[in-house]
A and B are shown apart, each in its own frame.
Chain A
Amino acid sequence: MIVAERKPMEEILQMIAPYKKVLLAGCATCVAICWTGGEKEVGILASQLRLARGKEGSKIDTVEATVERQCEKEMVEELRDKVKGVEAVLSLACGAGIQTLAEVFEDKPVFPAVNTTFLGSPEGEGVWLENCGACGDCFLDRTGGICPMVRCAKGILNGPCGGTRKGGKCEIDPDKDCGWVLIYRRLEKQGRLDLMRKYYPPKNFRAVKRPGKMKAIKA
């Protein structure tokens, strides 16, 4: 899932300073799961903005709406009536959602209330860990399902760097597990340590051109 974090409040207040009526648009998918941009967070942020602006003496009128997935134009269209009545939109979705909203409603300023940070999954309650770099050239088949591009601080592809600390921690960041220790242990469990003896050539970073585009053929 995509993980995002809410922007600092000063930054958000500065963005919407000139506007008196703003729509706060949430997304019920990834950002809702990481407690950043779902319906609940939209309500909380809207309340904070009303309190902050009320204190400044420049009241703000807020409209709240959350769609299932803000990266889908058909779903964003549902907001059309609400967008019509406001001066600007503050989106709590990930970058893909914010941009979809901005594209569908080109005549309205759309602002990001969050910073999209990484692709990851929950490690524990309230903790998400990055585990995919979207490199476009996945080789998780060789590493027991653990990505060294992201989990290794150096992003190296052919085993540990030799600097692994005691306890299997990273040389660069002692709070981080050495990605290659994790890979070794996983392959050991699966009886596939022979994979670590193979040499893999440098990654093809041209696999994904930016902006990435994929055309799916429906069966």
Chain B
Amino acid sequence: MNGEIIAFCCEHSAYAAADAAGKQGLHSPEKLRVIRVPCAGRVDIIHMLKALEEGAAAVLVLGCEDGLCQHLTGNVRAKERVKYSGMLLTEVGIDGGRVGMFNLAANAPHKFIKIVNEVNERIKERER
């Protein structure tokens, strides 16, 4: 995962958006790796920490918009876990901003691309 942006994408929203972005030929960062999950709530703290241990530059969790989670509270739980993971990273002197949670709908490929490109820019800034 050397320098990759790991994006855990809920299959009901973000993954569909990412797929649509691909089909439309929208440009995403070269080092983006999309991982499909049944719900953002499937992503646990250890997944985020281990991804960073393996060399990921950033870990994103992308799920459904507020109030629209197919599994009711998956996106809410994911948000709390991402926040907690950020705190755990800060505790050991690592930038907690390297994990982030985003909400989007399945029909928002441009939003998906905007999110991942902005994250990529922040990583480049940090590396300079």
Report A's interface with B, CB cutoff 8 A.
9, 40, 43-44, 47-52, 54-55
Contact = CB atoms under 8 A, between A and B. Distances in A.
Most buried by B among A44, A51, A55: A51
B50 interface: yes
Contacts of B88: 44, 48
Interface stretch (B12-20, B68-76, B91-99, B107-115): B91-99
Of B49, B88, B92, which is in contact with the most chain A CB atoms at under 10 Å from its CB? B92
How would you classify the secondary structure of chain A's contact residues: helix, strand, loop or mixed?
A: helix
Interface of B: 45-46, 49-50, 52-53, 88-89, 91-94
A48 B88 CA distance: 7
Contacts of B94: 51-52, 55
B92 A55 contact: yes
A51 B52 contact: yes
A40 B46 contact: yes
Given A51-B49, A51-B89, A54-B53, 15 more contacts: A9-B92, A40-B46, A43-B46, A44-B88, A47-B46, A47-B50, A47-B53, A48-B49, A48-B88, A48-B91, A49-B92, A50-B53, A51-B94, A55-B93, A55-B94
Contacts of B53: 47, 50-51, 54
9 contacts: A40-B46, A44-B88, A47-B46, A47-B50, A48-B92, A51-B53, A51-B94, A54-B53, A55-B94
Nearest first, the 5 A-B pairs at minimum CB distance are A52-B92, A47-B49, A9-B91, A43-B46, A48-B92
B45 A51 contact: no
Given A51-B52, A51-B53, A55-B94, A44 B46 contact: yes
Contact of B93 (A40, A47, A50, A52): A52
Contacts of A43: 46
Contacts of A51: 49, 52-53, 89, 92, 94
Contacts of A40: 46
